[in-house]
Structure 1
Amino acid sequence: MASEELYAIADFCLIPMGLGEPSVAEYIAECSRVLEKSGLKYKMHGYGTNLEGSWTEVSKAIHDCHAAVHAKGAPRIATDVRIGTRVDKNIEPGTGNDSKLQRVQDILAKDAKP
């Protein structure tokens, strides 16, 4: 039986360390450039990034962010990664995070109705 690669919906927070400055924005911008080139759907937020694609592509994108941020001068990086997969539902590529959020918004919209 051929195994199909898992579709992964991830949230990761890459933290450059050892820089001696309070802002890491330049390093995070570098990671954003890497993600843009990856072609994967991603969305940055205040404390991390949502990312989705095949397990291999997601893992490679996070790896490539590490490599780029090190190349920019960060001597250390700590990254927290949370990855979810499903096999009980077909997820249209690029819609995983949006559909999860929409489901919650639909529930809250019912609360708002009189």
Structure 2
Amino acid sequence: MDDLYAVADFCLIPMGTGEPSVAEYIAECQRVLEKSGLQYKVPPIEGPWRAVSQAIHDCHAAVHAKGAPRIATDIRIGTRVDRALAPGTGNEGKVRRVEEILAKDGEGV
């Protein structure tokens, strides 16, 4: 089987920076995601499992290199094998379906 296609929603939290804002660290992670070639909206990122995992790893490495001594990251990854997903559409269909249901609710009122 080829690499699983993954949609990863992750929250990276730099800790121990001594700074009141972590915006610079998050911007560094954004730069890594831009270079990864993966489809993403903050969040999630989408692509082959290994590439998604590598991008999250690279964000950690870049934020540590920027000076954050600790990072806590929560990751939720979904995969599916029952149908192919076009790159960048992992959550798009889900969002569209919810919007369709809500639109029907409006029609009945």
Q: What residue in structure 1 maps to residue 98 of structure 2?
A: 104
Return the offset for 1:57: 0.4
Question: What runs of 5+ residues in structure 2 fail to find an aligned partner?
Answer: none
Matched, 1:93 2:91: no
Select the residue among 35, 53, 56 that pairs with 2:47.
Answer: 53
Quote the RMSD (CA, aligned, Å).
0.9
Identity %: 73
Q: Which moved further from structure 2: 99-108 or 57-66? A: 99-108
Q: What residue in structure 2 maps to residue 15 of structure 1?
A: 13
One-letter code of the match for 1:80? D
Deviation string, structure 1 residues 12-56 (Cα, Å, up to 9, x no partner)? 000000012221111000000000000111111xxxx21100000
Per the normalisation by structure 1, the TM-score is: 0.90
Matched, 1:76 2:70: yes
Return the offset for 1:101: 1.2
Return the offset for 1:90: 1.5
Deviation string, structure 1 residues 32-86 (Cα, Å, up to 9, x no partner)? 0000000111111xxxx21100000000000000000000000000000000000
What is the alpha-carbon distance in structure 2 between the residues aligned to residue 98 and residue 25 of structure 1?
27
What is the alpha-carbon distance in structure 2 between the residues aligned to residue 22 and residue 98 of structure 1?
35
Return the offset for 1:104: 1.0
Count of residues paired in the alignment: 108
Q: Which has the higher strand share?
A: 1
What is the alpha-carbon distance in structure 1 between the residues aligned to residue 40 and residue 85 of structure 2?
16
